[in-house]
């Protein structure tokens, strides 16, 4: 399989939204709680392709977009925060998420950042394993949930750049 990382501007509006919707389709609570945020995110990136191409990437396999990752640079060089990081359902469990994350980390550290942070929810065990296998360490578990009674508590992860 030929994995390539491409610019967001190589694709059409709506792709990020569709990938998020598909990646979280295993639990309809995600869609019910985040659908408008996903649409806003897709619109923002496609309205600002200069930002999207610099702070995000699309992962493709044999030319098909299967996932994407984005990061927030506003606190660099102190830290960058990885935001969305998803792989389409059909392609999960094949190592693409880790490859995608490693590519994002390599691009981020080129900016002399001190650390990279991200969070996931306690119910997303495969994501936790993937982050840890990519060199992130569990930093803290927050006491409050983003959305009450859903998805478990957020867990912060950190990657220190040496």
Average pLDDT over residues 89-93: 95
Please, which pLDDT band fits residue 145 given cuts at 50, 70 and 90? low
**Beta strands, E only, 16-102:** 56-61, 64-72, 79-87
% the chain with pLDDT above 90: 77
* Residue range 32-54, pLDDT digits in tens: 889 999 999 999 999 999 999 99
**Which residues partner with 158 through β-bridges?**
117, 137
Read off the pTM: 0.91
Give mean pLDDT, residues 22-30: 90
- Give the pLDDT score at 154: 84
pLDDT band at 144; cut points 50, 70, 90: low
The residue range of the domain holding 123 is 3-160
Give the whole-angstrom CA distance, residue 66 versus residue 105: 18
Q: What is the CATH number of the domain that holds 153?
A: 3.40.630.30
Domain count, the chain: 1
What does the block give as tokens for 74?
């506003």
Average pLDDT over the chain reads 92
Q: Are 125 and 99 in contact (CB under 8 A)?
A: no
Q: Report the alpha-carbon distance of residue 132 to residue 126 in Å, rounded.
A: 10
């Amino acid at each position: 399989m030929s994995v390539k990382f491409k610019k967001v501007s190589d694709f059409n509006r709506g792709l990020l939204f569709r990938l998020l919707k598909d990646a979280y389709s295993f639990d309809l609570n995600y869609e019910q709680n985040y659908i408008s945020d996903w649409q806003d995110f897709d619109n923002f990136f496609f309205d600002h392709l200069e930002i999207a191409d610099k702070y995000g990437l699309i992962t493709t396999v044999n030319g098909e977009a299967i996932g994407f990752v984005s990061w927030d640079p506003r606190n660099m060089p102190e830290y960058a925060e990885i935001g969305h990081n998803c792989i389409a359902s059909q392609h999960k469990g094949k190592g693409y998420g880790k490859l995608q994350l490693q590519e994002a980390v390599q691009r981020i550290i080129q900016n002399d950042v001190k650390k990279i942070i991200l969070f996931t929810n306690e119910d997303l065990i495969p994501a936790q394993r993937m982050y840890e296998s990519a060199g992130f360490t569990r930093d803290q578990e927050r006491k409050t949930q983003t959305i009450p009674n859903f998805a478990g508590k957020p867990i912060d992860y950190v990657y220190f750049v040496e």
